[in-house]
Homo-oligomer: A and B are copies of this chain.
Amino acid sequence: MNADKIPDIIIGRLPVYLRALQRMSEKGMKTTSSQELGDYVGISAAQIRKDISQFGEFGKQGTGYSIPFLIEKLREILKVNQMWDMVVVGVGDVGRALARYGGFAERGFRVAMIFDADPSKIGQKVGEFTIEDASDLIERVRAAKIRLAMVAVPASAAQAVADMLVQAGIKAIVNYAPTVLSVPSGIHVQHIDPSAHLQRMTYYLNGSVVAAQARVPVR
């Protein structure tokens, strides 16, 4: 198994499978089929079999997949069979939500520190965290050997923050700022973009005659 040889599009689907399998497991299910998993996540059974088979023979003809086994394998493949520390930069509405969010641990992540550049915020508490001064970011993140960051600053500040994070040794960034971040090769960025999710759905809303008639085109 060579990381460079598996298309990123496939890697991007594995967390979706893992999330679904974890929900199934919570419901007490022990086995599933590519068909059932496919119905759950909205991806074809054939695609799921093809994706998973890239990493080995994890299912059995006729009996399907063992859910605990496939969860274990996917956690190994995605390297979330360990806990990853993260830093959150920008403590506005989104940063605050991330700092308070209780669901990261079961997925392999925990917020370790939060930063903001606003002097009126520095020193304030958010949940269990104290907001730290962004000017200490590089030193603090480097010392703690943190590799993951979530950027929740305004678009105008995002690139400068990304540059600092790269300097601090961060290798992967989840970007909530509505702007494209330019980073050196080898640094990964994922953009959280609700508009893209919305657009993926409006495509299907051609049946919605009322909406089509009621709206004025904006060109």
Chain B residues whose C-beta falls within 8 Å of the C-beta of A58 in the assembled complex: none
Report the separation of the CA atoms of residues A6 and B203 in the bound assembly, to the nearest whole angstrom: 11
Report the separation of the CA atoms of residues A107 and B199 in the bound assembly, to the nearest whole angstrom: 8
Chain B residues whose C-beta falls within 8 Å of the C-beta of A40 in the assembled complex: 180
Mark A55-87 against chain B: 1 for CB-CB distance below 8 A, else 0. 000000000000000000000011111111010
Indicate whether A157 reaches chain B with its CB closer than 8 angstroms: no
Chain B residues whose C-beta falls within 8 Å of the C-beta of A178 in the assembled complex: 101, 103
Report the separation of the CA atoms of residues A192 and B191 in the bound assembly, to the nearest whole angstrom: 11
Indicate whether A160 reaches chain B with its CB closer than 8 angstroms: no
Chain B, Cβ-Cβ closest to A23:
B180
Contacts A11-B200, A174-B198 given; indicate if A218 touches B81 (C-beta within 8 A). Answer: yes
Indicate whether A28 reaches chain B with its CB closer than 8 angstroms: no
This protein's copies in its complex: 2
Within 8 A of B (CB), among A1-59: 3, 8-9, 11-12, 14-16, 18-20, 23, 40, 42-43, 47
Q: Contact residue range for chain A?
A: 35 or more
A5 to chain B minimum Cβ distance, whole angstroms, is 13
Chain B, Cβ-Cβ closest to A18:
B199
Indicate whether A100 reaches chain B with its CB closer than 8 angstroms: yes
Query: Which 10 A/B pairs are nearest by Cβ-Cβ distance?
Result: A93-B97, A107-B195, A172-B201, A15-B196, A190-B197, A15-B199, A188-B201, A82-B215, A103-B178, A78-B199
Sampled A-B contacts (7; CB under 8 Å)? A14-B203, A79-B212, A93-B100, A145-B214, A147-B208, A172-B201, A188-B201
